[in-house]
Amino acid sequence: MYNRPVDKLNEKIAKGEPVIGAHVYLADSSVTEMLGIMGNEFLWIDWEHSALDKSQIQSHLIAAKAAGIAAFVRIPWNDHVLAKPVLEMGPDGIVFPMIKTAEEARNAVAACTYPPKGARGFGPRRAVRYGMMPGGEYFEQVDSSFWKIMQIEHVEAVINLDEILKVEGVDTIVVGPNDLSGSIGLLGQLRHPEVMKLFDEIAEKCNKAGKPFGTSIGWNKQNVEDWKRRGASWIACGSDTGYIFEAGLGTLNGVKEIFGVK
């Protein structure tokens, strides 16, 4: 079996070590290469909230492989039609957004799993290294070759989380803080007591079930410290667009200050 980035992530989590990555929204795959060189351990390639197309997603996956890091793809919705082409590209994880029930989690897992256990159609391309990996070998390792990630971002999902965590094939869950806060009428108020209570409840349930969990957030020291305290195994923090904007704005304002320009 060839080296799989996801194995390194699993090993780190088993040792209790954090797995840290970033989000990708821009089209140029050089972004992925740079983020890998920086030291990120995985990248979250976002198809839900970006203008990326499928060919650009595959380019990012190829760049991540070249950089030696894992790459997850968040698809726009929990739909077999959307999952199928991404799976054939060979990602290291696929994120299913807005999972609210165990039945929705089972549907997501089925999209990733070949019959008789699932409903995935057969047609891998990059996932079998364009034919270099024999079909039998691929079948033997496919279920462990990438993470099936359920995104918890609605209060209904928190209510149903114990059952979601019992679904066979769910590898990990990830918290979507903003949409979760919005589902109780507190959009973006991530430090509101009621929102913090939901975060703590998710962590408690995952820790009790022995299921690793992560979160997807922007950079904020206190928020990251809170997720560490809760026991998060992995965190997607910051993004290509955020890094460019923040660093660019800081440089621009610094130069303006020197020249006395408002």
Q: Give yes or no: 49 in active site.
A: yes
Is residue 10 in a domain? no
What mean pLDDT value characterizes the chain?
Answer: 96
Q: Looking at the domain assignment, is residue 230 inside a domain? A: yes
pLDDT digits (tens, 9 = 90+) for 150-206: 999 999 999 999 999 999 999 999 999 999 999 999 999 999 999 999 999 999 999
Establish if 5 belongs to a structural domain: no
Task: Label residue 211 by pLDDT band (50, 70, 90).
Answer: very high
Catalytic residue among 49, 60, 80, 192: 49
Per-residue pLDDT at 6 exceeds 60: yes
Dihedral pair phi/psi, residue 115, rounded to 5°: -60, 150
Encode pLDDT of 113-146 as tens digits: 999 999 999 999 999 989 999 878 999 999 999 9
> Alpha-carbon distance 19 to 261, whole Å?
42
Cβ count near 194 (within 10 Å): 12
Q: pLDDT at position 175, please?
A: 98
**pTM here?**
0.96
Q: Is 6 inside a domain boundary?
A: no
Cα 151 from Cα 178, distance rounded (Å): 12
Predicted local distance difference test score (pLDDT) of residue 122:
92
pLDDT digits (tens, 9 = 90+) for 14-23: 999 999 999 9
pLDDT at site 2? 56
- Cα separation, 108 vs 81, whole angstroms: 11
Asked if residue 148 lies in contact with residue 205, where contact means CB atoms within 8 angstroms, the answer is no
Separation between Cα atoms, residue 75 and residue 89, nearest integer Å: 13
pLDDT of residue 134: 85
Structural domain contains residue 3: no
Percent above pLDDT 70 for the chain:
99
Q: Is residue 31 part of a domain?
A: yes
Tokens of residue 88, six digits: 């054939």
Q: What is the CATH number of the domain that holds 154?
A: 3.20.20.60
45 assigned to some structural domain = yes
Q: Which domain holds residue 44?
A: 17-255
pLDDT band for position 262 (50/70/90)?
confident
What pLDDT, on a 0 to 100 scale, did the predictor assign at position 72?
98
pLDDT digits 0-9 by tens, 39-55 = 999 999 999 999 999 99
Minimal CA–CA distance to 10: which of 110, 182, 195, 147?
147
Q: How many domains does the chain have?
A: 1
Within a domain: 1: no
Cα–Cα nearest to 65, from 39, 90, 86: 90
Residue found under tokens 């968040």:
74
Please tell me the predicted confidence (pLDDT) of residue 244.
97
**Long-range CB contacts (within 8 A, 24+) of 208-215:** 209/162, 209/165, 209/166, 211/165, 211/170, 211/172, 211/173, 212/13, 212/171, 212/172, 213/172, 213/173, 213/174, 213/175, 214/19, 214/149, 214/172, 214/173, 214/174, 214/175, 215/174, 215/175, 215/177
